[in-house]
Structure 1
Amino acid sequence: MGVGNEDGVVIRAAEKAGEAAKITVNCPDKTGLGCDFCWIIFDFGLRISKADVSTDGRWCFCVFWVLPCWTNGKKVQWGRLKSRLLSACPSLPIPFFHDPSSLPTNAQLFLLKILCLDRKGLLHEVTQVLSELELRIQRVKVSTTPDGGVVDLFFISDSRELLHTQKRKEETCERLNSVLGDTCAPCEIESPGVEYELPRNGFTSLPTAVAEELFRSEPSHDRGSVKETTSVSVDNSLSPAHTILHIRCVDQKGLLYDVLRTLKDCNIQIAYDRFLTNKEGFREIDLFVQRSDGKKIEDPEEQRLLCCRIIAEIRHPLRVTIASRGPDSELIIANPVELSGKGRPRVFYDVTVALKLLGICIFSAEIGRQSAMGKQWEVYRFLLDEGGAASLLTDRGRRRVVDVVRNVLMGWAY
């Protein structure tokens, strides 16, 4: 339950095209709250262009300037965004430091069944509608039949927590049916039965060689500019009570979320955060932080490990590779899961955007989780239809697919 005061979140929409909207949040504080706000903003398809976050240890004041990630004219649902941000605002008493027992329980899952004739971009169309309705895809099983049909099973949860109502189910099915057209049978939403139980992690584990390539500390496909220009420095001389982290790096989608997610999982409390773009197009982030015991980070080894982790999460917030699966090609994407259990927003949506741009059809898709490198990862697996995709027949073409998918996910030019 949020703070319960509508004045706690104020949104001022942009007056002109290309200008940033301004979101102000004023509420009680807790460790990781800035990360939670960034996650919600990211989930609404918005990109943070500038931010100021400050707290006195009990009350938090945040200002975010945001721009849409897309260019297709979709309107932002500002009223729904405000409601979501309000719901994330803590109520008193304030859970100031991280308490594992306070982690959210898993959201109720529902099964969405779609049966229709296959066509290019179908999965993207479904994903776009679900995103607009604030329905999150937790797991998915997509398969194509020999007669040209497709069977899509989406295990979804509702950010509004209303999918158990008949009205919300009907709204969702009506939107989907209107987009999918007459080639599809009417959509159905129900509670998943035992016949639809999935493996514990959502799918069988990745082959050892593929997992080693995907989760290696330095992925083979690296963007040089990110590697060369990412730096994190520590300063304990400017503040008597806080350690100052200064981060400089290339801009990318979800950058502030990735930084705050890392600090949240390390149980680091942020007193002040300034997120700016400098004249050369790089990002400058200044953070005044403390350990969970309220002290500065003074141990050199602790400083080194924290800096290394932040750099790693900035450089590789997502892993993308293509592997052979029998005679076919499988696109695999992995991203770290927060300790709270939340995965990165909009990954499935962005991948379907990239594959649609490339003209590549999806034969089947799965979402699951796998443990590696001491943490849990959300893994997306897409078996690609190579029938009309000459780009998948050569190593150069497959590298091009990986690059385009990664660039869409990271918000880079492709």
Structure 2
Amino acid sequence: MGILYDDVVIISEPQKDGDPTVLTVNCPDKTGLGCDLCRIILFFGLNILRGDVSTDGKWCYIVFWVVGKNRTRWSLLKTRLIEACPSCSSASGISYYRSELQPSKPPDVFLLNFCCHDRKGLLHDVTEVLCELELTIKKVKVSTTPDGKVMDLFFITDTRELLHTKKRKDETIEHLIEILGDAIISIDIDLVGPEITACTQASPLLPTAITEDAFDLELPDLARGGTLRSDYVSVMMDNTLSPAHTLVQIMCQDHKGLLYDIMRTLKDYNIQISYGRFTTKPRGKCEIDLFIMQADGKKIVDPNKQNSLSSRLRMELFRPLRVAIVSRGPDTELLVANPVELSGKGRPLVFYDITLALKMLGTCIFSAKVGRHVIGDREWEVYRVLLDEGEGLSLPKNKIEEGVWKMLMGWE
């Protein structure tokens, strides 16, 4: 008998209230599969409490214990996880499943543009609708006019690849009108060509003042303030416990997307995980044991490679994102940056968390821009939010910075 399509991903409901839901993935292996799965789980707003990964290099078995929202769309999550798994072909006369949903080309980009009367929390409400509809924000430009109107431009892609159809477009507009209510003035969604998206791209290089003042890319010996980072990160490597693998032991404070940050780092380094275990401890502490090897199937014995990987892991877990409040003359700008995977994918729900935090803080947004920029030797997704100071900021700048950081880290 073969592996049934529905058995590739199994979602087991908790047996009693308070217990986690168990996600089991049983499929062919590939480098970076753990990263892809963790990214989807993060997009659905779920927190991973435990994780076990084992593979023989050809087939893998992964189990995640997760908790999250009451309204999680489990059937849709299962579909997305199956899509991320490598396709299987016939082997030894056994017929396996084959996913037909893997995209063969970059997704089409659509421009959502609308004009409406401004109000507090409007940008977050729109972002929430787009996330619920599985529309990914690639770039956004939001501005407020002197007469209190908002002009919003969202460049989006559709996970379901149906936004070119009238039904999907009408559904999206209907949901947006429902949340905007009487404030809406005009709204439209159009497919844009590559020449339009190219013209709207910001310069890949940020001003030097921003990169130097706001985004320190070095791992400091002592973190400033004590709140805008994880408390403790330890990364140790050992080549004596396994004849074929390097053991990486990580101890750190838990945060939203922790396992994703580890997996995307290993994926970018083209590191394969043969066995791994992730557990959360009391007081938000985490322990991770990973038996890894290089793409050539060998241990990591080169001290330079060990130091490079260890330093990158410490940095990614110490500060997985950069958050800063800076002054632009009389204006105040919130800057948030997160590293982009080498595959080109950015961290999910960042803009959602930023706008939610500002909404909860009662801070209005005057304008916002999202773009890809080069900082150091890496590509980053940078969110630049100009805060509305029409009546003066009601909160100190450091409180806004801290509130946004805690929301992004899941410490709210």
Pairing 1:150–2:150 present: yes
Matched with 1:18 is 18
Deviation at 1:134, TM superposition (A): 0.8
The answer (yes or no) to whether the contact 2:324–2:336 under 8 Å persists in 1 is yes
AA aligned opposite 1:120:
K
**What pairs up with 1:29-68 in 2 under 5 angstroms?**
29-68=29-68
- Residue in structure 1 matching 2:271, options 268, 273, 296: 268
Quote how far apart the aligned CAs of 1:87 are. 0.6
Deviation at 1:251, TM superposition (A): 0.6
Unaligned runs of 5+ in 1: 95-101
* Secondary structure in 2 matching 1:293: coil
Query: SS where residue 408 of structure 1 aligns?
Result: helix
Indicate the percent of aligned positions where both proteins have the same amino acid: 54
1:80 aligns with 2:83: no
Structure 2 residue identity aligned to 1:352: T
Partner letter of residue 359 of structure 2? Answer: K
Q: Secondary structure of the residue that 1:66 maps to in structure 2?
A: strand
8 Å contact 1:110–1:189 — kept in the other structure?
yes
Of 327, 333, 338, 1:335 maps to: 338
**Aligned partner letter, 1:362:** I
CA distance in 2, matches of 1:200, 1:182: 30
TM-score, normalisation: structure 2 = 0.90
- Higher mean alpha-carbon deviation, 294-303 vs 347-356, is at 294-303
1:289-347 Cα offsets, whole Å, 9 max, x none, are 00110001112222121111100110111001112223211111000000000000000
Instruction: Name the SS of the counterpart of 2:383 in structure 1.
Output: strand
Report what 1:383 is aligned to: 386
Task: Output one character per residue of 1:57-113: Cα deviation in whole Å (capped at 9) or x when no partner.
Answer: 001111111111x6xx5x01111111111111101469xxxxxxx997532110111
**What corresponds to 1:401 in structure 2?**
400
1:298 aligns with 2:294: no
Q: Following the alignment from structure 2 to structure 1, what is the Cα–Cα distance between the partners of residues 345 and 104? A: 9
Q: Distance in 2 between matches of 1:355 and 1:320?
A: 13
Measured in 2, the distance between the counterparts of 1:84 and 1:305 equals 33
In terms of mean alpha carbon deviation, does 186-195 or 343-352 score higher? 186-195
SS in 2 for 1:239: coil
Q: Distance in 1 between the 2:188 and 2:229 partners?
A: 44
Amino acid at match of 1:390: L
For residues 194 and 344 of structure 2, the distance between their equivalents in structure 1, rounded to whole angstroms, comes to: 24
Tell me, yes or no, if structure 1 residue 160 matches structure 2 residue 163: no
CA distance in 2: counterparts of 1:295 and 1:52, whole angstroms: 22
What does 1:344-363 correspond to in 2, within 5 Å? 344-363=347-366
Residue aligning to 1:99:
none
Structure-1 separation of matches of 2:59 and 2:311 = 30
Deviation at 1:183, TM superposition (A): 1.8
Kept in 2, the 8 Å contact 1:215–1:373? The answer is no
Contact preservation (8 Å) 2:334, 2:386: yes
- Structure 2 match to 1:324: 327
**Aligned counterparts of 2:104 and 2:295: Cα–Cα separation in 1:** 20
Which letter maps to 1:306? Answer: L
Is the aligned partner of 1:231 residue 2:234? Answer: yes
Task: Give the deviation of 1:198 after TM superposition.
Answer: 5.8
What per-residue deviation string (whole Å, max 9, x for no partner) do you get for residues 8-56 of structure 1? 0111233544321111111111000000000000011111111111111
Taking a change above 3 Å as real, the CA distance of residues 135 and 227 of structure 1, as seen in their structure-2 partners, is closer
Over 3 Å counting, the alpha-carbon distance change for 1:226 and 1:335 in structure 2 is: closer
Alpha carbons 1:226, 1:249 under 8 Å: kept: no
Cα distance between partner residues in 2 of 1:227 and 1:113: 38
1:141 aligned partner, one-letter code: K
Q: How many residues are matched?
A: 396
Match of 1:285 in 2: 288
Distance 1:104 1:228, change over 3 A: farther
Q: Residue 115 of structure 1 aligns with which residue? A: 115
CA pair 108-228 structure 1, distance change in 2 beyond 3 A: same
Q: Helix, strand or coil for the counterpart of 1:143? A: strand
2:124 equivalent in structure 1:
124
Normalising by structure 1, we get a TM-score of 0.90
The letter for the 1-side match of 2:240 is: S
Unaligned runs of 5+ in 2: 91-101
Summarize the Cα distance change of 1:224–1:406 in structure 2 as closer, same or farther, 3 Å threshold: closer
Give the secondary structure class of the aligned counterpart of 1:340. Answer: coil
Q: Matched residues in 2 for 1:33 and 1:412: separation?
A: 27
Q: Are the aligned partners of 2:204 and 2:373 in contact in 1 as well (CA < 8 Å)? A: no
Residues 49 and 67, structure 1, Cα contact 8 Å, conserved in 2: yes
Aligned residues: CA RMSD: 2.4
Task: Give 1:235 deviation, angstroms.
Answer: 1.2
